[in-house]
Amino acid sequence: MAVDNSDFQYFRYNPSIAAAVIFTVLFLLSSFIHVYQLFRKQTLYMIPLVLGGFLEGIGYIARIVSSQQTPNWTLGPYIIQTIFVLVAPALYAASIYMILGRIILLLNGEIHSLIKKRWLTKIFVACDILSFLVLAAGGGILAQGTQSSVTLGQNLILVGLFIQIVAFGVFVVVAFLFHKRIRSNPTHESLQPNVPWAKHLYVLYFVSLLIMVRSVVRVVEYIQGYKGYILSHEAFIYIFDATLMFIVVVVFNVVHPSQLTAGRKIVHEGHVTLESLSGGETVDMVNKS
């Protein structure tokens, strides 16, 4: 059944300035903490997540502007918040995919991975980039406001969200199978008490679930169209997008993957050296390959 996108409006409610201010502060605060952690811990693979946090913050700043324009909203702030808030989780996903790759590398566990390490990050990040580009294009086209552009924009956004959902679904399967296999047949590295790899895998499951839930709600939102229930009620964007995505970024503030970098393995002439997370102490062992 075709969705009626006639009588397009930027908002079907009066945007809340209080909610926009709260999430602007929250996202920017978390993002600045991430910048500090990034430079202090040299975790360059967290750059996409940090950029995503800043995009969220800028998106909600634009929403503050829109809330002060009611009911004469302008295109600029609307298109910024639509695109930035929509694409930010794709950047979170890029860092999440790279964290799994580092866990596999740390544990010398490539044999247990459904996808080889050298392809794992490339495949998932490629899907992520594709999702990012499709979502950005869809958001830009949708914001033009004509009936045809709204329909095309919504369809592109749906494609981008479906790519994201499928990629995350496969990612969770890959992570779960790796987890199950290395539990059943552990490597020497996975048995080291000073390498908290399992904790970080559980974090990946948790944040992946949050992004999946957010993406599913967004799919329903764009299937319903601009006269649908979700887009007519502002609470949905703050409960199922802003709140869930803030939890994602703040979880990585608290359980920072720099612990994985600190426990990296260095391979030399058939020996593996594990650097202790607690004090720089090293343990040498024969690499059983």
CA quadruple 126, 127, 132, 137: dihedral positive or negative? positive
Q: Which two tokens stand for residue 6?
A: 């006639």
Residue 259 CA to residue 23 CA, distance in Å, equals 28
Residue 35 CA to residue 26 CA, distance in Å, equals 14
On whether the pTM is more than 0.75, the answer is yes
What pLDDT does 195 receive?
81
Q: Residue 146 — pLDDT band, cuts 50, 70, 90? A: confident
> At 164, which amino acid appears?
Q
Of 10, 73, 28, 13, the C-alpha closest to 242 is 28
Q: Which two tokens stand for residue 261?
A: 């970098």
Cβ proximity of 142 and 82 under 8 Å:
yes
Of 52, 20, 22, the C-alpha closest to 34 is 52
Mean pLDDT of the 128-153 span:
90
The DSSP output letter for 44 is G
Check pLDDT > 80 for residue 271: no
Summarize pLDDT for 173-214 with one digit per residue, the tens: 999 999 999 999 999 988 988 888 999 999 999 999 999 999
Residue 45 CA to residue 52 CA, distance in Å, equals 13
Q: Which two tokens stand for residue 210?
A: 């949050």
Cβ proximity of 208 and 171 under 8 Å:
yes
Cite the beta strand spans of the chain per DSSP E: 265-268, 271-275, 282-286
Summarize pLDDT for 21-70 with one digit per residue, the tens: 999 999 999 999 999 999 999 999 999 999 999 999 999 999 999 999 99
In this structure, what is the dihedral angle of CA atoms 249, 217, 96, 83, given to the nearest 10 degrees? -70
